[in-house]
Amino acid sequence: MTLVHSLADASLPVTRTILVTGSTDGIGKATAKALARQGHRVLIHGRDREKGRAVLREIGKEIDGATLDLFTADLSSLEGVRALASGVEDRYERLDVLVNNAGVYMPERVLTRNGLEMTFAVNLAAPFLLSHLLMPLLESRAPSRIVNVASSAHFDANILDWDNLQGEKQYDGWEAYSRSKLGVVQFTYSLARRLDPGQVTVNCLHPGVICTKLFYSAFPDYPCEPPEAGARTPVYLASSPRVAGVSGKYFDGMKEERSSGISHDRDLQDRLWGLLEKVTGLG
């Protein structure tokens, strides 16, 4: 590979192995392309194998010498998350970066095969479980990074009703999405406290108001930016030496910002952590 990241840091391998979940569409695909263009080995993930193969061909045509691999798994089920982790472990002994990007917006309440509300399952339970399952690969490649794609939507979730966390009593698509993204921020902070930043860092981000299928399903007429704009901050957190050793932070526009007040509540973080351990079978 002749392409080298201009911001290469001597403390990290120039060519990294990076898994980007949900990278056959939207922000994830743009993120994968940008990282491949920097010269990294990018592990593409999607639910549909043929669509994934098409993305591999697309990136391969655009980026000469791109090093790619494809994994297919349905992250709406805990079994799918475990299958993805097992697949990566079977092919790789180390992982430099995990970008938890996959997400959904559900206008109606749908339950997964595990009995979880779909938004909660894909946007929160899946990255929580996947991060834990891939931790041995990340720790073996220290310093390594976890990048969680959250959203400024988390600011709209200013109250947590634990009896309606998965829309058990009343469901609203935007409320479910906002709660899930608040959970991503809280999970990021909780995980960062449990990790040595010299070994593994974990940060989260707002990608911007981006034109994706997910966004159009919620706001079909709202102005938005292209996926390439949404990829800037996840690519920055995955690859820039400027954030080496930085952990437990929320970024917007490649800058560290303060997330919502409720996201910093340690008691709520711990309670959510315990719930996620229980529903994912890690408790």
Active site residues: 177
- In order, the DSSP letters of the chain are -----TT--TTS-SS-EEEETT-SSHHHHHHHHHHHHTT-EEEEEES-HHHHHHHHHHHHHHSTT-EEEEEE--TTSHHHHHHHHHHHHHH-S--SEEEE------SS--B-TTS-BHHHIIIIIHHHHHHHHTHHHHHTT-SEEEEEE--GGGGG-----GGGTTSSS---HHHHHHHHHHHHHHHHHHHHHHS-TTTEEEEEEE--SB--HHHHHH-TTS--B-HHHHHHHHHHHHH-GGGTT--S-EEETTEEE---TGGG-HHHHHHHHHHHHHHHT--
